[in-house]
């Protein structure tokens, strides 16, 4: 749920007593830059949940906790989403500065807090170490061997990302031969070439893939952010965020490992792709990483896989129709977002500002 900004922006705080319902609080806070939650007593914990609720619902203004609160509560108040605590008890008695706990057991309500909860810290370290070990073990292994091992290792928490683009059939075929029920995630941006959708359905049928998830943009968000359907022309990053990044992030929440189709021969950021990598959150399996362009096409014909209809028409890399142009070289990505600085779709990265630095984008199989 997001806040509408009908209310006039103002620096006068909106005052919300802690006993108001979360729905009321959200309504009152909408459009305001500063909200004071009024605590009647330091023992009344409702304000803690109210703050967590407002933050989770997307309130980004200043949140202040106002009332007879104790210095002992300041750390927790800040963790649930308050910026400031206004209380005449805070400095009473000269008790000095409270040192906040360094480690925590719980995530902050927005999930974007300073410290990860212990269970995630530990798990992510273990996941990274495990991925490194797998990468070492599978160095130089065949795509089949890489898939067999990782599909088993991450069973129940692994998915394939596929655009059903020009090279997708190869990876999907190998997966279908080992574990046809592996979830295949497809982003339906509503901007695909009709040929892609036909090709997708034909491949699913032919390979016997039994679990395909079609990910669509949230209809409410689409109506709000792209009411005229022309967002791609004004701001392609915002369009991709709406149609790819967010739907994919929602779907990926259920998975710890993803199989991608990235290959070193794509060049650019992909020149050094390894078979198994850890991106700080998930394990990425790139079973085709070391295949050259010609090896890909050899395998394509050896397995008698159908080509995407647009490949013949001169599109070596295929995405949404507004953002895909013809290009010269096979396997090349130069036709993607032609004339812009971008070469990647930004999937995986909800914050455009950090996109470059994190370089988390992937190429779909």
Partner 1 sequence: MYRYDEIDREIVDARTAEFREQVQARLSGALTEDEFKPLRLMNGVYLQLHAYMLRVAIPYGVLSSEQLRTLAHIARTYDRGYGHFTTRQNIQFNWPKLVDIPDVLDQLAGVEMHAIQTSGNTIRNTTTDPFAGAADDEIADPRPWCELIRQWSTVHPEFTWLPRKFKIAVTGSPEDRAAIGVHDIGLKLVAKDAGEIGFEVHVGGGQGRTPRIAAKIRDYLPANELLAYLTAVLRVYNLAGRRDNLYKARIKILVESMGADAFTQAVETTYRDIRGRELALPAEEIERVSSYFVPPPAGAPDEAPSNDRAFLTWREVNVKPHKVAGRAIVVIALKPYGKAPGDATAEQMEAIADLADRYGRSEIRVTKEQNLVLPHVEAAALPSVYEGLKAIGLATANAGRPSDIVACPGLDYCNLANARSIPIAQAISEALEAAGLDEKAGEVTIKISGCINACGHHHIANIGLLGVDKKGEEVYQLTLGGIADGDAAIGKIAGPGLSANDAIDAVVTCVQVFADRAELGETFIDTLTRLGHEPFKEAVYGA
Binding site for ligand SF4 (CB under 6 A): 189, 191, 232, 236, 239-240, 243-244, 319-320, 322-323
- 299-304 CB contacts, 8 Å cutoff, 24+ apart: 299/170, 300/169, 300/170, 303/170, 303/173
* C-beta of 178 vs 238, nearer to ligand SF4: 238
Q: Which does 11 bind (CB under 5 to 8 A by kind): partner 1, ligand SF4, none?
A: none
Strand partners, 104: 117
Q: Is there a catalytic annotation at residue 345?
A: yes
Q: What letters, b where the CB count within 10 A reaches 16 and e where it falls short, cover 223-251? A: eebbeeeebbeeebbebbbbbbbbbbeeb
Tell me if 109 contacts partner 1 by CB under 8 A.
yes
Q: Which does 1 bind (CB under 5 to 8 A by kind): partner 1, ligand SF4, none?
A: partner 1
Q: Which does 123 bind (CB under 5 to 8 A by kind): ligand SF4, partner 1, none?
A: partner 1
Q: Are 34 and 65 in contact (CB under 8 A)?
A: no
Phi then psi dihedrals of residue 56, to 5 deg = -65, -35
Tell me if 280 contacts partner 1 by CB under 8 A.
no
Radius of gyration of the chain (CA): 25
* C-beta of 119 vs 133, nearer to partner 1: 119
Tell me if 350 contacts partner 1 by CB under 8 A.
no
- 24-27 CB contacts, 8 Å cutoff, 24+ apart: 25/50, 25/53, 25/54, 26/1, 26/53, 26/54, 26/57, 26/59
Query: Which runs of consecutive H residues, i.e. helices, occur in 154-193?
Result: 168-178
Phi then psi dihedrals of residue 35, to 5 deg = -125, 130
Tell me if 256 contacts partner 1 by CB under 8 A.
yes
Tell me if 80 contacts partner 1 by CB under 8 A.
yes
**Alpha-carbon span 18 to 160, nearest angstrom:** 45
Q: How many CB atoms lie within 10 A of CB 296?
A: 19
Q: Which does 173 bind (CB under 5 to 8 A by kind): ligand SF4, partner 1, none?
A: none
Q: Which does 76 bind (CB under 5 to 8 A by kind): ligand SF4, partner 1, none?
A: partner 1
Minimum distance from residue 71 beta carbon to ligand SF4 (Å): 32
**Alpha-carbon span 13 to 166, nearest angstrom:** 55
Tell me if 58 contacts partner 1 by CB under 8 A.
no
Minimum distance from residue 356 beta carbon to ligand SF4 (Å): 17
Tell me if 49 contacts partner 1 by CB under 8 A.
yes
Candidates 22, 322, 350, 352: give the one binding partner 1 (CB under 8 A). Answer: 22
Tell me if 126 contacts partner 1 by CB under 8 A.
yes
Q: Are 68 and 81 in contact (CB under 8 A)?
A: no
Total binding residues for partner 1 by CB under 8 A? 54
Minimum distance from residue 191 beta carbon to ligand SF4 (Å): 4
How big is the CA angle at 82 (ends 76 and 85), to the nearest 5 degrees?
80
Tell me if 43 contacts partner 1 by CB under 8 A.
yes
Q: Which does 274 bind (CB under 5 to 8 A by kind): partner 1, ligand SF4, none?
A: none
The DSSP letter of residue 245 is: I
Residues of the shown chain interacting with partner 1 in the complex, contacts defined by CB under 8 A = 1, 21-22, 42-46, 48-50, 52-53, 56-57, 70, 72-73, 75-77, 79-80, 89, 92-95, 99, 101-109, 111, 117-124, 126-127, 130, 157, 253, 256, 281
Active site residues: 345
């Amino acid at each position: 749920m997001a806040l509408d900004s009908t209310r006039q922006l103002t620096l006068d705080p909106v005052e919300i007593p802690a006993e108001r319902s979360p729905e009321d609080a959200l309504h009152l806070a909408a459009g305001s830059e500063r909200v004071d939650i009024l605590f009647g007593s330091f023992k009344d914990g409702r304000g803690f949940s109210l703050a967590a609720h407002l933050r989770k619902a997307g309130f980004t203004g200043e949140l202040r906790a106002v009332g007879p609160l104790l210095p002992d509560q300041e750390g927790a108040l800040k963790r649930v989403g308050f910026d400031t605590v206004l209380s005449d008890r805070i400095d009473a008695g000269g008790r000095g500065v409270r040192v906040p706990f360094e480690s925590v057991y719980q995530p902050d309500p927005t999930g974007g807090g300073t410290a990860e909860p212990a269970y995630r810290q530990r798990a992510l370290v273990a996941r990274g170490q495990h991925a490194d070990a797998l990468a070492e073990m599978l160095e130089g292994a065949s795509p089949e061997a890489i898939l067999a091992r990782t599909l088993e290792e991450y069973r129940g928490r692994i998915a394939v990302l596929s655009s059903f683009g020009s090279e997708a059939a190869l990876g999907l075929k190998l997966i279908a031969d080992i574990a046809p029920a592996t979830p295949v995630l497809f982003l339906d941006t509503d901007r695909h070439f009709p040929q892609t959708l036909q090709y997708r359905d034909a491949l699913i049928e032919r390979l016997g893939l039994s679990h395909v998830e079609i990910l669509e943009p949230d209809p409410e968000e689409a109506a709000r952010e792209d009411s005229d359907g022309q967002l791609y022309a004004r701001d392609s990053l915002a369009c991709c965020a709406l149609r790819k990044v967010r739907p994919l992030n929602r779907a990926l929440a259920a998975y710890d490992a993803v199989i991608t189709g990235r290959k070193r021969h794509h060049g650019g950021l992909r020149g050094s792709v390894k078979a198994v990598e850890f991106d700080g959150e998930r394990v990425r399996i790139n079973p085709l990483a070391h295949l050259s362009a010609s090896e890909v096409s050899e395998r394509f014909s050896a397995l008698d896989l159908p080509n995407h209809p647009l490949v013949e028409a001169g599109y070596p890399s295929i995405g949404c129709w507004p953002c895909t142009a013809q290009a010269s070289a096979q396997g090349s990505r130069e036709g993607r977002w032609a004339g812009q600085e971008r070469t990647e779709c930004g999937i995986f990265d909800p914050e455009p500002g950090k996109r470059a630095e994190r370089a988390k984008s992937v190429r779909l199989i």
